[in-house]
Homo-oligomer: A and B are copies of this chain.
Amino acid sequence: MTSPALQIALAHHRAWTGKNLDLAMSYLAEDVVCDAPSGRIQGIDVYREFLAPFAGQLLIRAELIAAFGDDSTALLMYDTETIPAKSAPAAECVTVSNGKIVYNRFVFDRTPFIAFSQQQAPVNE
C-alpha cells in the first residue's frame, strides 16, 4: 500500500475514531471543504464542530470495511457502532494535497441520527 493519499486518510480516520480530535484535525487543510449529507462544510473549525459530537458522544467503535487510494485520492468505507444505531456505515472520498485533506465527500444515512435527535429534543405539540 503506497498511496500517499490513503496514508493521510487512514491516519485521520484512526485519529477521530480513536476520539483524538486534535490529532485528526492535524491532517486537514485549514480551508478544507466537506460535502456531507446535510450540506457543505467549509473550514477546519466548522469541520471540527461537525465531527466532534459524533466522535465524542455518539461513536462507540468503528471498523474499516475497505480502503483504497492513489496519489491524490483515497476512498474509505467503514462501519460504526453508535448510540443511535448498532450499524451506521459511512464512506469518505478525500482529496489530499501537500499532505493535507483538502476535500471530503462524505456519505452516510442520516435517518437514525435524525430519529435519535428528535427523541432527545421532542417537538412541542
Give the B-binding residues of A (Cβ under 8 A): 35, 37, 65-70, 73, 75, 77, 89-91, 93, 105, 107-111, 114
Q: Contacting A66 at CB < 8 Å: which of B35, B37, B75, B114?
A: B75
Q: Is A77 touching B105 in the complex (CB atoms < 8 A)?
A: yes
Copies of this protein chain in the complex: 2
Q: Contacting A77 at CB < 8 Å: which of B65, B69, B91, B111?
A: B91
Chain A residues touching B, majority SS: strand
Docked Cα-Cα span, A65 to B111, in Å, equals: 23
Query: What are 6 A-B interface contacts by the 8 Å CB criterion?
Result: A65-B93, A91-B93, A91-B107, A107-B109, A109-B110, A111-B114
User: Which residue of B has the minimal Cβ distance to A75?
Assistant: B66
Docked Cα-Cα span, A69 to B68, in Å, equals: 7
Docked Cα-Cα span, A6 to B108, in Å, equals: 22
Q: Is A108 touching B111 in the complex (CB atoms < 8 A)?
A: no
Q: Contacting A109 at CB < 8 Å: which of B65, B66, B108?
A: B108
